[in-house]
Chain A
């Protein structure tokens, strides 16, 4: 059977399961949806591994990728915003592992420190500030789930289709010259990135050697955002504006 078929059926099944997992569904439907989503994820993984020949990857990549997708699904379907934030922290840690594999050490570190450390904690602070004591209807009810899931399916299938047309679809032309050339170049670049003695030093020299103006602009940007956040959060509200 053509592995491309799995890459179309799998996301459709997984997103059907996601539809049943949304927080407006009763508990049995959510369990069923979880099972269906797991089956869809397994079909997609099988198809992608057949189509793109990925089993030669480092062993951490596929489990981390599957865990990231699973945690992201839990995040968008959980009723409690605090749990959603925690699951997002898990997604960030998984993507830090994935970023570490090609040798981007500095990026992995700032993903954990800045994303999971700073941004996520800011979110959790605001959730605790604004959280209601009991479950509220805007955490349970959803809007337009079917259309949203169809939009998501369209995005995923479009990217998978584009990849199938690229030279990376190795299963189609197992001995094809185009595919092997590109993949050889890719693996050579990856091994070079891993063997680069210090990713942090070279990234710093590129950042401050080639893009000093952009670094300064980014700093000013962060300063403006900080001032804006302080001004926004500290605005006075008079009584008649308060509904």
Chain B
């Protein structure tokens, strides 16, 4: 049997848990960790679908996943710089402390 379904199901579950955590939690750092969880789901999806391909084409999904990890690293660096900046302005990690743009 193909191994694709388990990767797709697990990717969907990890992505959904990341979405739930992002929506529910109020700590900015945990919200960013939840986006990393979503990235994990997408990486598993890419690797799972790449097992459907033959020969060199089987590596395309892995190449995509490598670039995805680059994006994740850049995103983590920017996010943590932003968190440090926000924390120096108000000593809290509460996402709801920053409501100046609410209508």
Which A residues are within 8 Å of any B CB, using their own CB? 11, 15, 18, 22, 48, 52-54, 56-57, 61-62, 65, 68-69, 72-73, 75-76, 81, 84-85, 88, 91-92, 95, 98-99, 101-102, 104, 106-107, 110-111, 114-115, 118-119, 122-123, 125-127, 129-130, 136-139, 141-145, 147-149, 151-153, 155-156, 159-160, 163, 168, 170, 182-183, 185-190, 192-193, 202-203, 206-207, 210-211, 214, 218, 221-222, 224-226, 228-233, 235, 237, 241-243
Contact = CB atoms under 8 A, between A and B. Distances in A.
B64 to A, nearest CB: 10
Given A168-B4, A186-B2, A211-B63, A102 B50 contact: yes
Interface string B1-22: 1111111111011111111110
Nearest to A169: B5
B90 A73 contact: no
A230 to B, nearest CB: 7
B15 A130 contact: no
Given A22-B24, A151-B20, A76 B34 contact: yes
A156 B16 contact: yes
In order of increasing CB-CB distance, the 8 nearest A-B pairs are A186-B2, A76-B21, A225-B74, A229-B81, A232-B81, A159-B12, A148-B23, A138-B94
Contact of A187 (B2, B29, B34, B65): B2
A229 B78 CA distance: 5
A188 B52 CA distance: 9
Interface residues of B, number: 78
B3 A186 contact: yes
B57 to A, nearest CB: 9
B10 A69 contact: yes
B55 interface: yes
Chain A contact residues, majority secondary structure: helix
24 contacts: A75-B33, A76-B21, A76-B34, A81-B29, A85-B33, A98-B47, A99-B44, A102-B51, A123-B33, A126-B29, A127-B29, A144-B23, A151-B19, A152-B17, A155-B19, A160-B9, A185-B52, A185-B54, A202-B59, A211-B63, A225-B77, A228-B77, A233-B81, A237-B89
B47 A104 contact: yes
Contacts of A62: 6
A231 B11 CA distance: 35
A114 B77 CA distance: 12
Interface of B: 1-10, 12-21, 23-27, 29-30, 32-34, 36-37, 40, 43-44, 47-48, 50-56, 58-60, 62-63, 65-67, 69-78, 80-85, 87-96
B23 A186 contact: no
A220 to B, nearest CB: 11
